[in-house]
Amino acid sequence: MSHWNDKQVAINVFVGKTFKKVTNTGDAITFESDDGTVLEMSHDQDCCEHVRVEDICGDLQDLMDPPIIEAREDTNRKEPVPELGDDSFTWTLYNFRTMKGSVTIRWLGESNGYYSESVEIWQVV
Torsion of CA 89, 68, 29, 86, to 10 degrees: 0
Per-residue pLDDT reduced to its tens digit, 49-93: 889 999 999 999 999 999 999 999 999 877 766 766 658 889 999
Query: Average pLDDT, stretch 103-123?
Result: 91
Average pLDDT over residues 28-43: 96
Give the per-residue pLDDT at 87: 80
Residue 4 has what pLDDT?
A: 67
